[in-house]
Amino acid sequence: MRGIEFFRNVSIGQYWPGTSYVHRLTPATKYLWLLVLMVSGIASSSYAGALVPLAVALAVGASAKVRPGFLLRGVKPLVPFVAFTAVLQAVFPWPGDSSARLLSLGPLAFTAGKARLVLMMFARTLSLMTLIGLFTSVTSESESVHGIEDLLAPFGRLGTSAARSAHRLALAVGIALRFVPIIVGELESIAKAQASRGADFGSGRGGPIAKARAYLPLFVPVTVRALERAELLAEAMEARGYTGEGRTRLASYPKQRGEGLARWASLAVIAASFILDYVFRSR
Partner 1 sequence: MAEKSDVRRIAVTGVLSALSIALFLTPFGYIPTPLGVSLTVVHVPAIIGAVLEGPVVGIVIGGIFGATALVKAAIAPQGPIDLVFVNPLISVLPRLLIGLAAWVVYSAFRGKWTGVAAAMAGIAGSLTNSVFVLGALLIFRVIAPAVAGAIFVTNGLLEAALAAVLTFGVVAVWKGIESRTGKAKLAEEK
**Alpha helices by DSSP H, the chain:** 21-24, 27-43, 47-63, 68-72, 78-91, 112-138, 141-156, 160-196, 208-239, 259-281
Smallest Cα–Cα separation from 265: which of 18, 51, 30, 23?
A: 30
Stretch that binds partner 1, among 155-163, 192-200, 234-242, 250-258 (CB under 8 A): 234-242
Binding track, positions 82-111, relative to partner 1; x by CB under 8 A: x-xx--xx--xxxx----------------
* CB of 42 or CB of 102, closer to partner 1: 42
Stretch that binds partner 1, among 10-18, 57-65, 151-159, 262-270 (CB under 8 A): 10-18
112 binds partner 1 (CB under 8 A): no
Smallest Cα–Cα separation from 180: which of 169, 192, 188, 168?
A: 188
* CB of 80 or CB of 106, closer to partner 1: 80
* CA 17 to the chain's CA centroid: 20
| Contact residue for partner 1 among 52, 128, 151, 166 (CB under 8 A) | 128
Stretch that binds partner 1, among 102-110, 152-160, 238-246, 271-279 (CB under 8 A): 238-246
- 108 pairs with which residues across the strands? 105
20 binds partner 1 (CB under 8 A): no
Q: Which residues 156-185 are close enough to bind partner 1 by CB under 8 A? A: 168-169, 171-180, 182-184
142 binds partner 1 (CB under 8 A): no
* Alpha carbon distance 129, 78 (integer Å): 10
* CA 155 to the chain's CA centroid: 23
* CB of 219 or CB of 264, closer to partner 1: 219
* Alpha carbon distance 236, 241 (integer Å): 9
| Contact residue for partner 1 among 15, 20, 21, 38 (CB under 8 A) | 38
Q: Which residues 190-219 are close enough to bind partner 1 by CB under 8 A? A: 191, 201-208, 211-213, 215-216, 218-219
Number of residues that bind partner 1 (CB under 8 A): 84
* CB of 19 or CB of 92, closer to partner 1: 92
Q: Please state, in angstroms and as integers, the Cα–Cα distance from residue 260 to each residue in 25, 42, 49, 91, 189, following that order.
A: 10, 25, 25, 51, 49
DSSP codes joined into one string, 133-187? HHHHHHS-HHHHHHHHHHHHHHHHTT-HHHHHHHHHHHHHHHHHHHHHHHHHHHH
Q: How far is the CB of 186 from partner 1 (least distance, A)?
A: 8
* Alpha carbon distance 22, 130 (integer Å): 16
124 binds partner 1 (CB under 8 A): yes
Q: Is 13 helix (H, G, I), strand (E, B) or coil?
A: coil
Stretch that binds partner 1, among 25-33, 56-64, 235-243, 271-279 (CB under 8 A): 235-243
Stretch that binds partner 1, among 58-66, 129-137, 259-267, 269-277 (CB under 8 A): 129-137
Strand pairing of 101-105 and 108-111? Answer: antiparallel
223 binds partner 1 (CB under 8 A): yes
262 binds partner 1 (CB under 8 A): no
